[in-house]
């Protein structure tokens, strides 16, 4: 928790200000040793609509979102947290009504209760830079169905994904982190998925079933290529893993369109694109939901 304080003194003709809390733009913040910690908003109603937290304020880097900085922001629909931020503090967005959350690469720590009770969030993606997620960080996110967790995570706190009653998929990119007590205590429907080559996984994780997520396009059989029903290919992998097939006509703009969602019920399924002739070229990829 950041404490508001002011200290000033003169030395060799220079005036130094440390920890001075001031107001700029839509935020209140504290300047500590030349780095900014956001402490709240200037608006009576908090953040409104889709908001991107600034990476700098008055030329100084925004590195921390403080304790309860945006708690109960009922009118916040979307938040983007820039990579300049290294820490998201206790209760920072608790009970906010956002439907979209973007955490950019660079954030290292998500403290306890940070997004507790953000009941409108449908999915979350945690960047590879995050190493620690605190207790109850995403507790009571009632609409959360999927969460993807980056490769850098080493610890995830107790109850961090508890009472997320619609949670079905928890996708880990890295090695198995150390889980806190009752990570999924009241949840009964989620499955943990992990990637080939990662370590520390078994058939369960924190009481939830764990599966290798390894879908592959099959290119060396008769299914691959143009056929009467369109351009298609088989997809093989672990039984009952979910996936989405996407297409793009231009990799430069990074625009991918989801075409079809599958579950590999028998470990093998055929995908066919009947619209492929409408494009001069089309690329395909497989991702998790």
Domain boundaries, the chain: 44-212, 216-287
**What are the two backbone dihedrals, phi and then psi, of residue 61, each rounded to the nearest 5 degrees?**
-70, 140
* Strand (E) or helix (H) holding 17: strand 14-18
Q: How many CB atoms lie within 10 A of CB 234?
A: 17
Q: Tell me the per-residue pLDDT of 192-230, one tens digit each, with 9 for 90 and over.
A: 999 999 999 999 999 999 999 999 999 999 889 998 889
Q: Please tell me the distance from the alpha carbon of residue 167 to that of residue 170, in angstroms, as a whole number.
A: 8
Q: Are 177 and 156 in contact (CB under 8 A)?
A: yes
Interstrand relation of 268-273 and 230-236 (parallel, antiparallel or unpaired): antiparallel
CA distances from 226 to 8, 111, 236, 249, 266 (A): 74, 50, 19, 17, 24
Q: What would you measure as the largest C-alpha separation in the chain, in angstroms? A: 83
Residue 129 DSSP SS3? coil
Rg (CA), the chain: 23
pLDDT on residue 45: 81
Whole-model pTM above 0.85?
yes
pLDDT on residue 186: 81
Residue 252 DSSP SS3? helix
Q: Please tell me the distance from the alpha carbon of residue 163 to that of residue 99, in angstroms, as a whole number.
A: 18
- The low-confidence residues of the chain, meaning pLDDT below 70, are 1-24
Q: Are 173 and 152 in contact (CB under 8 A)?
A: no
The CA-to-CA distance between both ends of the chain, in Å, stands at 36
Q: Which of 241, 156, 264, 255 is nearest to 191 (CA)?
A: 241
* Bridge partners, 21 (sequence order): 30
One CATH from 3.40.640.10, 3.50.40.10, 3.80.10.10, 3.40.50.2300 for 44-212: 3.80.10.10
Q: Tell me the per-residue pLDDT of 22-36, one tens digit each, with 9 for 90 and over.
A: 456 789 999 999 999
Q: How far is CA 229 from the centre of its chain?
A: 37
Q: Which of 264, 265, 208, 152 is nearest to 286 (CA)?
A: 264
pLDDT on residue 22: 47
Q: Please tell me the distance from the alpha carbon of residue 220 to that of residue 230, in angstroms, as a whole number.
A: 18
CA distances from 277 to 10, 106, 260, 281 (A): 74, 41, 17, 8
* Pair of tokens at residue 184: 């999924």
* Bridge partners, 15 (sequence order): 10
Residue 252: CB partners within 8 Å, gap ≥ 6?
none
Interstrand relation of 109-110 and 123-126 (parallel, antiparallel or unpaired): unpaired
**What are the two backbone dihedrals, phi and then psi, of residue 269, each rounded to the nearest 5 degrees?**
-150, 155
* Bridge partners, 191 (sequence order): 169
* Pair of tokens at residue 204: 């369960």
């Amino acid at each position: 928790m950041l404490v508001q304080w002011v200290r000033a003194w003169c030395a060799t003709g220079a005036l130094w200000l440390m920890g001075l809390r001031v107001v700029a733009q839509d935020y209140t913040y504290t300047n500590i040793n030349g780095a900014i910690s956001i402490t709240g908003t200037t608006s009576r109603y908090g953040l409104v609509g889709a908001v991107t937290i600034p990476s700098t304020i008055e030329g100084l880097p925004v590195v921390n979102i403080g304790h309860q900085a945006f708690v109960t922001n009922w009118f916040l629909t979307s938040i983007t947290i820039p990579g300049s931020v290294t820490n998201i503090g206790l209760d920072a967005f608790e009970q906010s009504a956002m439907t979209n959350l973007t955490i950019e690469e660079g954030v290292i720590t998500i403290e306890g209760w940070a997004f507790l009770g953000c009941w409108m969030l449908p999915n979350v993606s945690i960047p590879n830079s995050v190493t620690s997620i605190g207790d109850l960080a995403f507790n009571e996110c009632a609409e959360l169905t999927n969460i993807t967790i980056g490769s850098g995570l080493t610890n995830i706190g107790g109850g961090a994904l508890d009472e997320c009653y619609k949670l079905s998929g928890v996708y880990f990119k890295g090695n198995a982190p150390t889980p806190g007590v009752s990570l999924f205590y009241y949840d009964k429907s989620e499955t943990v998925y992990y990637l080939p080559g990662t370590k520390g996984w078994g058939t369960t994780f924190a009481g939830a079933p764990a599966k290798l997520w390894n879908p592959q396009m099959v290119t060396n059989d008769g299914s691959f290529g143009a056929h009467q029903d369109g351009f298609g290919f088989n997809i093989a992998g672990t039984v009952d893993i979910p996936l989405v097939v996407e297409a793009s006509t231009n990799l430069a703009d990074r625009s991918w369109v989801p075409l079809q969602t599958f579950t590999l019920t028998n470990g093998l399924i055929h995908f066919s694109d009947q619209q492929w002739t409408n494009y001069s070229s089309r690329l395909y990829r497989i991702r998790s939901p």
